[in-house]
Structure formats: C-alpha cells, structure tokens
Structure 1
Amino acid sequence: MTEGEPSASERTRSLLPLTLLIAAAVVVVDQLTKHWAVSNLAGAAPRHVIWTLQWNLSFNSGMAFSRGQGMGVVIGLIALVVVVVIIGAVRTNTDRLVAVAAGLVAGGALGNVVDRLFRGDGLMRGAVIDFIDFQWFPIFNVADMAVNVGGALFIIWSLFGARKATA
C-alpha cells in the first residue's frame, strides 16, 4: 500500500453504506409504487400503458412471478435470511458491482417482506402487491425487478469481475 491510498478496511467499509443506501432506495421506491397501485388500481380494470404493458393489481401469496403460492411464511423467512447473509458478505467485499448487486437483491427482498409483514392478517401472512403486467409474462413489481437485476449483476461479476478480484 502506498501513502495516500486507502487501506483494504477503508475500501471495504465504504461499500456497506452504498449497499444499504441502494437497498433502502429500492424499498422506498417499491413501497411508493405499491401504494400508488393499491390507491389507483383497486377494483379497476387493467390500465393499458403502452404496447402490451398494463397496470393490473394482483396480490401474490407466493414469490417472484407468482411462483410458490401459499408459501408466504417460508418465503418471507428465507428472504430475511438471504438479506442477512448478503449484508454480512458484502462487509468483506471491495467490488462496487457486488455492492450494487447486493443492495438491489436485499432491497427487493425487503420490499416484498414488508408486504408480507404489513399487508395481511398475521405475521408474514400478507400478500405481495404486483401490478406490472406485460400480459405475456407473470405480473411483478419493482422489488422483483431489483432482485432480478441484482441477480444478473452477480452473474456478470462471477463471469468477469471475480477473475479480476483474484488476479
């Protein structure tokens, strides 16, 4: 290490706030869009936006893209464990792409856990609000998008960035 260059611990510490900021931003945007969807789409017919995209309110007791219906408690608990593992792992990471990916996945998972916690009649008994509908693809939400983009970034990092980190 040369003088003026940050130590490994300083570089590592700077990534955890980035991850947490991204996760928080995803949760906020996700919850705001879901609030809009419930306020404006409840009881209404789907609203055409463009091409095959429409806003169509749906309550999903499963996981992303309506898989695992009725397993909300298990899915919610797994999501919480995944968030804890991701946040714990990023503390020792020095790669920004990993920090961004971790923030997206953690924020998306937490956004849907918030629905499970507060949009039902018991602990983890709520349904996730989905409303983005392309009609040829399962209905989803902002949290689902964040999880998938974050997952794709993890794959990109594992194919290209991980090699640089070990070189």
Structure 2
Amino acid sequence: MTEAEQTGRTTGAPGDVEETGGSPRGRRRIGVLFTVAVCAYLVDLLSKLAVVAKLEHHDPVELIGSWLQFTVIRNRGAAFGIGETMTIIFTVIASAVIVVIARIARKLHSLPWAIALGLLLGGALGNLTDRLFRAPGGFEGGVVDFIAVWHWPVFNLADSAIVCGGFLIVILSFRGLDPDGSVHRD
C-alpha cells in the first residue's frame, strides 16, 4: 500500500505525481497566484484613487436608485465597521495573512487554490495599503469603502476579492482539495 493510499490522499488529477515547490507546475501556480493578486490589488487601488478624486465630499452617485450607489467613507474598522478602535490589530492581521499566503505558495500545486489565495492576497494588500498610507497614517489609516448596496454596509473591491477568495477556499475545502493538489478521500 502506498503512502497516498494509507493517508487517504490521492493526487488531484489522474497521472499527477507529487512534485516539489520548485517544479515547473508549482512555479506556474505561484505565477497564477501572484498574477491574480496583482490584478486584484491594482483594480482595487485604481478604483479607490478614482472615487476619492471624483466622489469624496460629494453626494452619493446612484447607479440603480437607492439599491446600488457609490459613496465614499473611511472605515478604520473591519467588515461592517466593527472594531474602529482596533485599526492596528487589523493591520497586523492583514500582514499575517500575507505571510501565511507566501508560506503556502511554496507548496502550491492547485490552480483553484492559486486563484483563491491570489484574491485573498490582492484584497489584503489593497486594504493594508490604505491602513499604512491613508490619513492618519502609520498603521491607523482608514480604508476607503465606496460600494453601497441597499441594506448592506459600504465595501470596496478589496473586500470583494477577500470574500470571493474565502468563499472559494470553503468550497475547495469541502471538496477535499488541498493547496498541494492532493484530494482527501475521507
């Protein structure tokens, strides 16, 4: 009986063999992770720059009546404005998430995991950039939120990337797919 059979783990696809982090397949997945992260980060950054320049200190812009609007707020807390006095803690958490993703990336052999982690990384970097460089600065900056959906707290594209990446991770976990490309057969 092989080790994979003993542990209940199989490779992600028929014919896949276990590879090291330096393999071409692993490097491609890391490339996907960082490409997704850079795209998510840049879309978030550019959207925030545009809405701050054009919409801050102005009335909300109605896209679909009161159902969907652009309005600029500065959120020093976490999701839903929770913990506005703990900005430094959220900065540390975002930094820790980035470090964990970088560590996981070394063993990454799954395309869906690369996409999910890229979304998380790009979103975390987007909000971390605000916390570091927006007023009042020094780990306490307010995150720019601008998408207002009826009866929902205002959010930004980094938040959307984080939620989508987290949702994808939950799906992958329920399906038993690991970042290394193996599949749990419990």
Partners of 2:54 and 2:161 lie apart in 1 by 23
Q: Which structure has the greater CA radius of gyration?
A: 2
Match of 2:51 in 1: 37
Note the C-alpha offset of 1:160.
Answer: 1.3
Note the C-alpha offset of 1:65.
Answer: 2.9
Specify the SS of the correspondent of 2:160. helix
Partners of 1:34 and 1:157 lie apart in 2 by 30
Q: Which runs of 5+ in 1 are unaligned?
A: none
Match of 1:71 in 2: 86
Please list the CA deviations of residues 22-51 of structure 1 after superposition, one character each: whole Å capped at 9, or x if unmatched.
Answer: 111111100100011101111111111015
Note the C-alpha offset of 1:93.
Answer: 2.0
Partners of 1:157 and 1:7 lie apart in 2 by 19
Note the C-alpha offset of 1:79.
Answer: 0.5
Partners of 1:27 and 1:43 lie apart in 2 by 24
Question: 1:165 is matched by which residue type in structure 2?
Answer: V
Match of 1:21 in 2: 35
Match of 2:101 in 1: 86
Mapping of residues 82-161 of structure 1, within 5 Å? 82-161=97-176
Partners of 1:156 and 1:49 lie apart in 2 by 32
Partners of 2:26 and 2:80 lie apart in 1 by 34
- Between the two proteins, what is the percent identity of the paired residues? 37
Q: Which 4+ runs in 1 deviate beyond 4 A?
A: none
Specify the SS of the correspondent of 1:137. coil
CA RMSD of superposed structures (Å): 1.8
Question: 2:183 is matched by which residue type in structure 1?
Answer: A
Q: How many residues align?
A: 163
Partners of 2:96 and 2:123 lie apart in 1 by 13
Match of 1:50 in 2: 64
Partners of 2:72 and 2:137 lie apart in 1 by 22
Partners of 1:141 and 1:131 lie apart in 2 by 6
Specify the SS of the correspondent of 1:133. strand
Match of 2:24 in 1: 10
Question: 2:118 is matched by which residue type in structure 1?
Answer: G
CA contact (8 A) 1:76 1:113 kept: yes
TM-score by length of 1: 0.90
Q: Which runs of 5+ in 2 are unaligned?
A: 1-15
